[in-house]
A = this chain, B = another copy of it.
Amino acid sequence: MSDTPDGMTLAELAAELGAELRGDPGHRITGLATLQGAGPEHLAFLANPRYRPQLQETRAGAVLLRPEDAADYAGQALLLANPYLAFARVSHRFDRTPRLPAGVHPSAVVAASARIDASACIGPQAVIGEDVVIGAGSIIEAGAILHDRVRVGDESRIRSRVVIYHDCQVGSRVNIHAGAVIGGDGFGFANERGHWRKIAQLGAVVIHDDVDIGANTTIDRGALEDTVIHTGVIIDNQVQIAHNVVIGAHTAIAACCGIAGSTRIGAHCILAGGVGVVGHIEICDRVQLTGMTMVTKSITEPGSYSSGTAFDTSDNWKKMAVRLRRLDDLAQRVRRLEKSAGDQAP
């Protein structure tokens, strides 16, 4: 639950969301909450049908509801077609993330050649390299480090301790969470009689507009050409994206995924947590990968894909594992039985 001192009235909320109001227009909402956790000062929402039973018992000041769900509910409500989306939109009104003042903090180190828009904010202990460009309204938080020639568009927020290496480009309305590393060297080495010889990574990373990147995620710079994250992509924490990967627009990548070098992932894909994708393949648009799937070759048809084995008690799992090692043997024994049955058939 999050509360703002002043809040909004139901009339104000209805106007902002284009909702039909059922209840007291002057009722004041100071925070959002779940149906179960809400009090009279809170706005709640019903999106997932499995929470419908909580509707009868909620103490919420008002609920975001579909009109078809409102019949069962006697309390105050804001009626609209997509309560979850309305909740997403209104959530930002109750966000307590500190707003930072425009200007450069005196402890930041900013190269004289950097061009920082007057409305941008450079936080304490940040470091801004030569010829960096920061657009209007963008925020570079405490401890972030932007190396030479990095460009950041407008209204982006680069959070604490993010590092962006030289020559990388970040679009507008991009969020990059703490500890992410953008543009580190790709893992490129040539082997010379058993010794690894490093290949300089000459490309960069290009991040288009409206991208969200999670904490401690790493996106490597390209070897020759760029690593590219297209518009509207959302990436969770601790994701690894190797050099020369291309992620198509509006694709979502959950935490702990790893995408190996030069792989291209299409638009509107969804990768659940812990997915691994080998290098040098292509995944087409609108592919879903379930958690911890290992993708070893290209996918050319939209749809859902999986790998792995279901979990079980360790005792059962051990039996299964032993049988699995002997699966080839089992298949051959079935083949022999079939042959012998065929011989016996009349």
Chain A contacts to B: CB under 8 angstroms: 1-2, 31-34, 37, 82, 84-85, 87-89, 91-92, 94-98, 105, 107, 109, 123-125, 127, 129-130, 142-143, 145, 147-148, 159-161, 163, 165-167, 175, 177-179, 181, 184-185, 187-190, 192, 194-203, 210, 212, 214-216, 218, 220, 224-225, 232, 234, 236-238, 240, 242, 250, 252, 254-256, 258, 260, 268, 273-274, 276, 278, 288, 290-296, 303-321, 323-328, 330-331, 333-334, 337-338, 340-341, 344
Total copies of this chain within the assembly: 3
Knowing A198-B212, A203-B1, A216-B179 are in contact, say whether A166-B97 is a contact too (CB < 8 A).
yes
A330: contacting residue among B98, B196, B334, CB under 8 A: B334
Contact A224 B33 (CB under 8 A): yes
The smallest beta-carbon distance between A221 and chain B, in angstroms, is 10
User: For A314, what are the chain B residues with a Cβ–Cβ distance below 8 Å?
Assistant: 288, 290, 303-306
Alpha-carbon distance between A98 and B296 when the two chains are bound, in angstroms: 37
In the assembled complex, 30 residue pairs joining A and B whose CB atoms fall closer than 8 Å, in A order, are A32-B202, A34-B225, A37-B224, A87-B199, A91-B202, A94-B202, A95-B200, A96-B202, A97-B200, A109-B124, A142-B145, A143-B143, A159-B163, A181-B237, A187-B214, A214-B218, A237-B240, A238-B258, A254-B260, A274-B276, A274-B294, A276-B291, A293-B311, A307-B309, A310-B325, A316-B325, A320-B325, A324-B324, A334-B334, A337-B338
Alpha-carbon distance between A124 and B314 when the two chains are bound, in angstroms: 48
Contact B333 A310 (CB under 8 A): no
Least CB separation from A278: chain B residue? B291
Inter-chain pairs besides A216-B218, A237-B242, A330-B331, 20 sampled, C-beta below 8 Å: A34-B224, A88-B189, A91-B199, A91-B200, A97-B166, A109-B125, A127-B143, A147-B160, A165-B178, A179-B179, A179-B216, A187-B236, A195-B232, A196-B232, A196-B250, A216-B238, A255-B260, A256-B256, A258-B273, A307-B309
User: For A197, what are the chain B residues with a Cβ–Cβ distance below 8 Å?
Assistant: 85, 88-89
Alpha-carbon distance between A216 and B238 when the two chains are bound, in angstroms: 9
Alpha-carbon distance between A195 and B232 when the two chains are bound, in angstroms: 7
User: For A124, what are the chain B residues with a Cβ–Cβ distance below 8 Å?
Assistant: 109, 127
Alpha-carbon distance between A102 and B89 when the two chains are bound, in angstroms: 45
The smallest beta-carbon distance between A307 and chain B, in angstroms, is 4
Least CB separation from A346: chain B residue? B344
User: For A34, what are the chain B residues with a Cβ–Cβ distance below 8 Å?
Assistant: 224-225
Contact A218 B237 (CB under 8 A): yes
Contact B328 A98 (CB under 8 A): no
Knowing A109-B124, A305-B311, A341-B340 are in contact, say whether A250-B143 is a contact too (CB < 8 A).
no
